[in-house]
Structure 1
Amino acid sequence: MRPIALFSMRNLRLAVLSAGAILFLTPYIWMISTAAKSREEIFSSSLSLWPERWALWENLAKAFSRVPMTQLLFNGLIVCALIFFIQVVIAIPCAYAMAKLKFRAAQTMMTLVMLGLLIPIHATALPIYVVLNKVGMLNSYFALSAPFFISVFGIFLFLQFFRAMPDDLIAAARLDGMSEMAIVNRVIVPNAWPAVTAFAIFSVVAHWNDLFWPLIVITSTERATPPLGLLFFRAAEAGDDYGALMAATLVITLPLVVAFLAAQRRFIEGITLTGLKG
């Protein structure tokens, strides 16, 4: 009876997880369905998931012709890469210092990190905008990236990961005559790739999808990020060409899906090792 009970529980868990996956994937599936339909079919009274006439390529052509889609994707890539690179360069040494070095201000720094997690970008948006406007840095990659160069979440995530690393490994590196920066570069970073990958997913998804800050500092499509480009596209289309709009959304969200699937194993490993499980 026991193997049968275990088999039933396993099937039950699988059924629950499958139902949850279908529930969360439903909006994305409906977006793909809408992107593949013509305008007439979208506004028809019948609701069907499978389009009667495939208009996906037609809608994609509209998406690429109405707004500079390639430029939007390039802008998103540059901004996310710049933010992530500087975040990691700052967060890893800070987290290593708090996790493995003993100094008086360690507890104070930890308190500041925890307080920093409570402060949203909305609270500091106005003074940052005023400063950028005064120095003439609006409508630039720097304006899109600068407020996010220091990630307290990244520091906290790497701190949790470094605390789990054995002290003997670092002690051995010190006995070999390595400086603290050499230890970070040659010992810590090579062993921190699971945490770096996990943080990369969080950082890229957050800033690729961000609309609030680009809407404040960007006023033209030349430096617009993908979500802001969708807003420009909808305005250009008067909000009624949902097939082309969903096609544009599909193009913009597809890189995130591909990136997550490619880094899925390391992402789960990093989340597990840093103790940030839900």
Structure 2
Amino acid sequence: MSTAAVKRNRQRLQKLRELRPSTVLATVALIIVSAIVLLPIVIIVLTAFKPVAEVNAYPPSLLPDAWTLDNLKTVTSELPFLRLVGNSFVFAGGVTAFALVFDSLAAYALARMDFKGRKVLLIAIIATLMIPFQATLIPLYQLVADLGWVNTYTGLIAPRAADAFGIFFLRQFFLALPRDIDAAARIDGAGEFRIFRSIVLPNAVPALLTLGLFTFVNNWNDLLWPLVFTTDAEMGTITSGLTLLTGPSGIVPHGVMMAGSLIAILPLVIAFLFIQRRFIENIATTGLK
């Protein structure tokens, strides 16, 4: 063994000796918590590839004895699968895009502009967070129905085009940005929209990505909203479409449902992998001036 290799091994042993018991306990606790969090996802993945007999067997087993693709085939054959996935992308993506635009504009006005009634308006927006979603569902449906938007993308997206939480979230981020850059831009003759578009938004990319991720995930996973505002199976989303897989007498084919759920979460995993660096960066720098 070379001298360099021996030196590296000694350094590793020295680092192991310097590990504190608290560090070891924290690592073990983190592994246990991670395993508990990931266990439902593992069960979904493994159940999706189990035959019906193994899914219904008692006592249940974690690993399938015989792997099968029948559950995935059932999902794609019994449902307009591609249509539902496309509807989910249009619904979740459309809501996310509009929410980022409208939320950021409102947040900029509340955080960087001085106008009469600003505090009252902010309090009113925050107060809407205390109203249960179910309390506004029937009036919203009546409004959408009167406009003829039931079973349309407009009816799914428009009522969610802005969000009180998103406005408050971005406002808090915009408040943390130095106001000197606004003053310098105004001296150079820039207007409010130019400051918003060219200065504030580029500095708020981590916050926008974080809000975009939360908004996309919440709408992608939403079940109640598509069920209420769409009565046509062709206009449903992947989450509402899975309810159509319930068998006769309310019997739920668990293997098929797990296969559908597995397909439904894949786009979320892919979306997070694309923006995880910026997402973690925003979480890590929250509260720093």
Q: Is TM (by shorter chain) over 0.5?
A: yes
Residue 169 of structure 1 and its aligned partner are, at CA, apart by 1.5
Deviations 1:82-104 (A, max 9, x none): 11111111111211111111222
Aligned to 2:185: 173
Report the residue type matching 2:280 in the other structure.
Answer: I
Residue 79 of structure 1 and its aligned partner are, at CA, apart by 0.7
Aligned to 1:28: 41
1:198-217 mapped onto 2 (5 Å cutoff): 198-217=210-229
TM-score normalized by the length of structure 2 = 0.88
Query: Secondary structure of 1:117's partner?
Result: helix
Query: Secondary structure of 2:20's partner?
Result: helix
TM-score normalized by the length of structure 1 = 0.92
Tell me the distance in 2 between the aligned counterparts of 1:240 and 1:85: 35
Q: Does 1:110 align with 2:119?
A: no
Q: 1:143 to 1:235 in 2, by over 3 A?
A: farther
Tell me the distance in 2 between the aligned counterparts of 1:236 and 1:187: 58
Q: 1:240 to 1:93 in 2, by over 3 A?
A: closer
Tell me the distance in 1 between the aligned counterparts of 2:122 and 2:285: 20
Query: Secondary structure of 1:222's partner?
Result: helix
Determine if contact 2:245/2:252 at 8 Å carries over to the other structure: no
Instruction: Select which of 63, 66, 69 maps to 1:50.
Output: 63
**Backbone CA RMSD of aligned residues:** 1.9
Residue 203 of structure 1 and its aligned partner are, at CA, apart by 0.3
Report the residue type matching 1:215 in the other structure.
Answer: L
> Structure 1 unaligned runs (5+)?
none
Determine if contact 1:71/1:222 at 8 Å carries over to the other structure: yes
Determine if contact 1:194/1:270 at 8 Å carries over to the other structure: yes
Greater Cα shift, 79-88 or 232-241 = 232-241
Determine if contact 1:76/1:208 at 8 Å carries over to the other structure: yes
Deviations 1:75-122 (A, max 9, x none): 010011111111111111211111111222121122112102212321
In percent, how many aligned pairs have the same letter?
35
Query: Secondary structure of 2:150's partner?
Result: coil
How many pairs were matched up?
A: 272
Determine if contact 1:195/1:274 at 8 Å carries over to the other structure: no
Aligned to 1:259: 271
Greater Cα shift, 263-272 or 186-195 = 263-272
Deviations 1:149-181 (A, max 9, x none): 111111111111111111111212112211100
Query: Secondary structure of 2:66's partner?
Result: coil
Q: 1:239 to 1:176 in 2, by over 3 A?
A: farther
Determine if contact 1:95/1:162 at 8 Å carries over to the other structure: yes
Tell me the distance in 1 between the aligned counterparts of 2:124 and 2:230: 31
Instruction: Select which of 91, 96, 103 maps to 1:91.
Output: 103
Report the residue type matching 1:112 in the other structure.
Answer: A
Aligned to 1:124: 136
Higher Cα Rg, which structure: 2
Report the residue type matching 1:143 in the other structure.
Answer: G
1:157-168 mapped onto 2 (5 Å cutoff): 157-168=169-180
Tell me the distance in 2 between the aligned counterparts of 1:236 and 1:252: 23
Determine if contact 1:66/1:236 at 8 Å carries over to the other structure: no
Aligned to 1:187: 199
Aligned to 2:9: none
Determine if contact 1:160/1:274 at 8 Å carries over to the other structure: no
1:57-72 mapped onto 2 (5 Å cutoff): 57-72=69-84
Residue 32 of structure 1 and its aligned partner are, at CA, apart by 0.9
Tell me the distance in 2 between the aligned counterparts of 1:185 and 1:220: 40
Tell me the distance in 2 between the aligned counterparts of 1:260 and 1:158: 20
Greater Cα shift, 232-241 or 262-271 = 232-241
Instruction: Select which of 218, 221, 224 maps to 2:233.
Output: 221
Determine if contact 2:245/2:253 at 8 Å carries over to the other structure: no
Instruction: Select which of 190, 198, 208 maps to 1:196.
Output: 208
Residue 68 of structure 1 and its aligned partner are, at CA, apart by 1.3
Q: Does 1:249 align with 2:279?
A: no
Deviations 1:230-273 (A, max 9, x none): 11122579634321221111001111122123322222333444
